[in-house]
């Protein structure tokens, strides 16, 4: 792949939480930027301000902290909707790996409708978690960049849906400082819509 999409491996997720390898702070920042959606060139462009280049990504690969996402063969242009449906599970599985590892037995069991009280990690909760995770990582990457480093750490460590929802105010404060009131208000309004949908699903 000329410009692959990278995602954190289980070892990479563990490194975010444990700091066991004592990575250089710049390498750790690059590891945090890897979210299973951005391509290598986009990641390196954002990391260029820290003086990092392709060798930094090679170092993360060599340590087994990131891996390239297997991309399906491109479908004909006449059927543009098929590739997203094929590619989505691979990205979601990775982005949700922290939650899935902690709650795999519950999440894997098929749950009948309306049993969320007995099963707090139902498929609906998992989907809501994934939507919020995507939202936070996209907003931090696009609007905060390296200034969102600490907030991204909190997102990575959020083990369940309430933990992600609790990051609304920190995100709002960071956006106010970095982008101003109008942008911050618009983005948080989108987040509130997602949160309301997640609460409705629960």
User: Residue 83: inside a domain, yes or no?
Assistant: no
φ and ψ at 66, to 5 degrees?
-135, 165
Q: Are residues 185 and 103 in the same domain?
A: yes
Q: Are residues 106 and 192 in the same domain?
A: yes
Structural domain boundaries, residue 110: 96-201
Residue 102, pLDDT score = 40
Q: What is the pLDDT of residues 57-110, one digit of tens each?
A: 899 999 999 898 887 655 555 555 555 444 444 444 444 455 454 444 434 434
pTM beyond 0.75: the answer is no
Q: Are residues 64 and 131 in the same domain?
A: no
Q: What is the pLDDT of residues 8-21, one digit of tens each?
A: 898 888 887 788 88
Cβ count within 10 A of residue 121: 21
Q: Cα 121 vs. chain centroid, distance in angstroms?
A: 18
User: Residue 56: inside a domain, yes or no?
Assistant: yes
Q: Are residues 184 and 135 in the same domain?
A: yes
Q: How many domains does the chain have?
A: 2
User: Residue 52: inside a domain, yes or no?
Assistant: yes
């Amino acid at each position: 792949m000329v410009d692959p999409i990278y995602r954190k491996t289980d070892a990479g997720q563990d490194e975010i939480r444990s700091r066991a390898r004592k990575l250089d702070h710049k390498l750790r920042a690059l590891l945090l930027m890897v979210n299973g959606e951005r391509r290598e060139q986009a990641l390196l462009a954002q990391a260029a301000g820290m003086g990092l280049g392709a060798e930094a990504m090679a170092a993360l690969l060599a340590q087994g902290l990131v891996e390239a996402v297997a991309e399906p063969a491109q479908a004909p242009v006449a059927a543009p909707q098929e590739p997203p449906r094929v590619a989505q599970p691979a990205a979601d599985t990775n982005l949700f790996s922290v939650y899935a590892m902690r709650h795999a037995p519950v999440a894997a069991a098929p749950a009948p409708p309306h049993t969320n009280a007995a099963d707090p990690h139902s498929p609906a909760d998992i989907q809501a978690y994934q939507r919020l995770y995507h939202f936070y990582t996209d907003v931090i990457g696009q609007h905060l960049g390296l200034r969102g480093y600490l907030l991204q750490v909190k997102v990575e460590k959020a083990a369940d849906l309430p933990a992600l929802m609790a990051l609304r105010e920190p995100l709002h404060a960071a956006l106010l400082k970095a982008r101003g009131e109008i942008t911050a208000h618009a983005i948080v309004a989108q987040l509130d819509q997602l949160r309301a949908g997640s609460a409705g699903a629960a």
